[in-house]
Amino acid sequence: MLATFLHYKGYEMLFIFLVSASWLLSCNNSSNLGKSSDEKDAVVDPVMVRDSVVIVDSITSMDTASAIMPAETVIQVQIPAETLPVTRLPKTLTSDQQSIHVTITDLEVGQLRISINHSKPDVNIRISQVIRPDGSMDGPFGQQLVYDIKQRGNYTVIINKSNMASGSQVGDVFITMER
C-alpha cells in the first residue's frame, strides 16, 4: 500500500534517496565503535601529537589551517649569530617531504644575506619562509635573499621545495649566511 501511495504521488525516487542516504550515514559513522566513553570524549590537539612538527606555509596562519608533518622530515640547525658568517653549511635532503630549519639565535638589527646552492643543477629548492622572533612569517623567496632584520631575536629560515614547481629537491644543499 505504501509503495502504491509513493508511486502514485511521484515520491518513489525521493523515498529511495532518503532511505539510501540514511543507510549510508549510519554505516559511515564507525569512528566511535569499540571505544570506551573516555576515548570517545578525549580531544586530541594536533599540535601536541608526539613526534610531529606543525608547518605553516605563507598562505595559512596558525589559527586557520596547518599541516602536521612527521618530525623526521625536519632537519634542525641552530646557529648563534656571533658565529656568522657561515659558508657552505652542508645538509642532505633524502626525500621531497623534508625541509631544513636554520635558526639563528640572538640576531641583531641589520641585514642578513642568505644563499642556498644544490649539488645538482635545476632542482626545485628555495628559501620558503623566514619566521621572525614575534612568530610572524615572511616568504616565499628564491635561492638568494637579503633580509632586513628589524627586531633583535631568533630567526628561523625554512628551506624546502616549492609546491608550485616541479622537480625534486633530493641531494646535498649548501647554505651560506652572512651579515
How confident is the model at residue 164, as a pLDDT?
Answer: 87
pLDDT at 82: 94
Cα(179)–Cα(67) distance, rounded to whole angstroms? 32
Contacts of residue 114, defined as CB under 8 A and 6 or more positions apart, other chains included, come to 127, 144, 145, 146, 147, 157, 175, 176, 177
- DSSP letter at 105? E
Looking at residue 104, what is its pLDDT?
96
Strand pairing partners for 172? 92
155 or 63: which leads in pLDDT:
155
The mean pLDDT value for 31-50 works out to 44
Strand order in the sheet with 74-80: 74-80, 99-107, 153-160, 126-131, 137-138
Query: Over the stretch 84-142, which tens digit does the pLDDT of each residue have?
Result: 999 999 999 999 999 999 999 999 999 999 999 999 988 999 999 999 999 999 999 99
DSSP letter (8 states) at residue 71: G
Average the pLDDT over 41-45 and give the result.
42
* Encoded amino acid at 165, one letter: A
DSSP string over 108-147? PSEEEEEEEEESSTT---EEEEEE-TTS-EE----SEEEE
- The count of other CB atoms within 10 Å of the CB of residue 157 is 25
